[in-house]
Chains A and B, each alone.
Chain A
């Protein structure tokens, strides 16, 4: 049923601290340099040392952006790694290991990685050896790894550079022998010259996209899996002219961001579900004071502490309803790295224009996966900050036809900018007048009309005569798309929503045609399907749900989706 893709999936599995990330970086960089599309996904435990983690690197001659269950080449680094991957291995899998990782249930090619590493400087070079094996199996130009290790370690010492190169070289030889002896089936041809493309993970995409969109101020509390965004912004604070501050708690984070935004700076908060839950009142404050703010939420399984390093799409309802009272918001959910950059950028314009909180929903899967993408448009033009200079008679919440009052900031003009978390009149001061109250509620909600006209439309793929429509949001874009393509089931199509809320009016036409709507989500209660049913009136009756903490694999979806044909 499902056809084999034109790629190789290499899975490296071992304990935290064994260098899986080092190997991942080496392989993704060098394979891209060799002209292959790469997609690396990490799954790891909530530990600094020990446990069992793995990374899957897809190396392909077409763009790849979904998780595969299938393992073509497996490198276990520790006893128990193969047991961990058992479900994904088949007798087609080439397992390369050494006696330490030997598992009698599996056929393995014994390459003494640790011994080779010792011979070339020490056990620490095992990663270079393992990297070399894969490079050798692919038959890549050895100049690539020589240049790579020189670049990576030249700041350390010549000896370290040389040890890495020779250890990698030995691994390369072993890989070549393996290829010639066994023949590695299905090594794809390189895609072409990918020199201009960018290797980026989800955290980088969100952080750099935010800066492109006008982000100046970041206040956050570290929380997996969102911390990468905070770190990226902090790393570049000096170069990109940002203020980045680690808050004492999430309540501080959101309030600090609102203070900075009130004073005119584009502000970003990054967090995960538990952190956002703490920010509820602050989000309500943003809505009431009509202060723009962008909040990035990288989802992980809940409730409470849940699985800190795993992935889920369980916080849609949280983000939809966070913050007591009624006020408008936008929720975006990028489908991949390129879209994460673009939407992160756009979020600032939307927040500033409508003076609302804008949420960007991602997940651990996106945050921790790396991919090559065409260079994103980092922009050239001066951004419209949507800020006006105030006059003496300025009123922050002046009633207007579309509900959006021109936004002034303190210190820019002669007017006074007064905002209040209490209900307030046009001048921003407290009021308990019932009529004014009603007018202000109407004003805030009126903004939804303009917001609905600015929706990011859903993305459709499939035949015109579809009858079954698979809907999805966030990072299920590629898995569903790949499964659809592989199934070739006929009369099945997909609709992906990079904007979840407000639900884009453009969705209606697609939903109307469907005889059956199926929602594909990584949660247990079908949150998006229910939202869509509520907002559009089209009944989502069927669901394909996964909530183990792992992303959907293409194979899984192929199976589930074809059962519905």
Chain B
């Protein structure tokens, strides 16, 4: 792959050889170049896990926060400075488990951020427990009898909540994943990209080949504007459908805030409204 401004020299990458994260990183860098992003204007907020290490391995502003808590941080960053491109990146455990409540409410809030979830159906960094998206029957050292609870269907949840942009990808297809990321970055509003990837070390069931055999791309001319249709497609899990499932254009979170009504300046550069503050205080004179 061609060298770029995003390439970081001497990154000590902690992923296993063959990890899907490598391909996702490649697709992401490609998408960032294609959408003319610059490191100085990009913030990647991540949680904890293997996937959230991604921003350590390329040139960008980085807020590597707490497990499950990337979405609120990303929302805060974008609300304080909407001129930044903000990506929230993490794994399925981080984003759909620990961060499940934030997933639901960030969709509602619709901040203009890209939500990248590396979905490998297992907990990699903590060595092999089931994740919220693990399929039934998946055996692990903790789910000894095999998973018997219902896996989270994140795209269905997102569509049910009328998320602004819902897409699914597969890390094995770098070019197609890149194209989806480009659309997500360009989208004004919350954009979910759930990316299937294999965990070569801890998930011997949902391998590279398994995913290849269980996914199918949506038709070229599929129209993503019907919530009902998208929801039906999202319920399919054999094969899982890949591509942009649903798009609903609506004003992003910061567009609804009075501070950006006619003023695009980031908060840090604004003057305190001394006069108005004094007036508000003096209203309480009641004289």
Q: Do A199 and B286 touch (CB < 8 A)?
A: yes
Q: Contacts A243-B80, A411-B40 given; 10 further ones with Cβ under 8 A? A: A197-B285, A241-B273, A248-B102, A255-B69, A256-B75, A259-B74, A264-B267, A265-B267, A378-B281, A383-B272
Least CB distance, B254 to chain A, in whole angstroms: 8
Say yes or no: is A195 at the interface (Cβ < 8 Å to chain B).
yes
CA distance A232 to B271 in the complex (A): 20
B77 touches A259 (CB 8 A): yes
Q: Which interface residue of B45, B261, B280, B284 has the most chain A CB atoms within 10 A? A: B284
B22 on the interface (CB 8 Å rule)? Answer: no
Q: With A259-B73, A262-B63 in contact, do A252 and B83 touch (Cβ < 8 Å)?
A: no
Of A128-136, A421-429, A521-529, which binds chain B? Answer: A421-429
Q: Are A217 and B80 in contact (CB under 8 A)?
A: yes
Cβ–Cβ < 8 Å partners of B74 in chain A: 259
**A182 at interface by CB-CB < 8 Å:** no
Interface presence of A517 (CB below 8 A): no
**Which residues in chain A, 262-305, are within 8 Å of chain B measured between CB atoms?**
262-265, 267, 281-282, 285, 289
| B276 in contact (CB, < 8 A) | yes
| Interface-lining segment among A71-79, A81-89, A204-212, A549-557 | A204-212
**Contact (A420, B76) CB under 8 Å given A243-B267, A378-B277:** no
Render A406-441 as a binary contact track against B, CB cut-off 8 A, 1 for contact: 000111111111111110000011100000000000
User: Chain A's nearest CB lies how many Å from the CB of B66?
Assistant: 5
The answer on a CB contact under 8 Å between B72 and A379 is: no
Determine if B136 is an interface residue (Cβ-Cβ < 8 Å): no
A500, B277: Cα distance in complex, Å: 29
* Closest A residue, CB atoms, query B79: A243
Q: Does A198 contact B (CB under 8 A)?
A: yes
* Contact between A216 and B273, CB atoms less than 8 A apart: no
Give the chain B neighbours of A2 by CB distance below 8 A. none
Pairwise interchain contact B79-A419, C-beta atoms closer than 8 A = no
A506 at interface, CB cutoff 8 A: no
**Which one of A197, A240, A416, A428 lies within 8 Å of B277 (CB-CB)?**
A240
> In which size bucket is the chain B interface?
35 or more
Judge whether A198 and B282 touch: CB under 8 Å: yes
Q: Does B43 contact A (CB under 8 A)?
A: yes
Chain A residues with Cβ under 8 A from B80's Cβ? 216-217, 243, 259-261, 263-265
With A241-B259, A241-B273, A255-B72 as known contacts, state yes or no: A416 contacts B280, CB within 8 Å: no
Q: Is the interface of A mostly helix, strand, loop or mixed?
A: mixed
Question: Is B270 in the interface zone, CB < 8 Å from A?
Answer: yes
Query: Are B280 and A256 closer than 8 Å at their CB atoms?
Result: no
Whether B272 lies near A416 (C-beta < 8 A) is: no
Task: Give the docked Cα–Cα distance between A259 and B77 (Å).
Answer: 5
B259 proximity list for chain A (CB < 8 A): 237, 241-243
Interchain residue pairs with CB less than 8 A apart (20): A32-B286, A196-B285, A196-B287, A199-B284, A199-B286, A211-B273, A236-B280, A239-B273, A240-B277, A251-B101, A255-B76, A256-B73, A263-B268, A281-B69, A379-B272, A387-B268, A411-B81, A418-B62, A419-B62, A422-B48
A382 interface residue, CB < 8 Å from B? Answer: yes
Instruction: Kindly state whether residue A200 has any CB partner on chain B within 8 Å.
Output: yes
Say which one of B52-60, B157-165, B200-208, B215-223 lies at the interface with A.
B52-60
CA distance A449 to B62 in the complex (A): 29
**B73 & A262 in contact (Cβ 8 Å cutoff):** yes
Q: Is the Cβ of B273 less than 8 Å from the Cβ of A245? A: no
Residues in A with CB closer than 8 Å to B257 are 243
**A228 touches B (CB below 8 Å):** no
A258 at the interface (CB under 8 A from B): yes
The CB with the most chain A CB atoms within 10 A, among B72, B74, B270, B276, is that of B72
> In whole angstroms, how far apart are the Cα atoms of A415 and B60 in the complex?
9
Residues on A with C-beta less than 8 A from B48 are: 421-422
A410–B281 contact, CB under 8 A? no
Q: Which of B261, B276, B282 contacts A240 (CB 8 A)?
A: B276
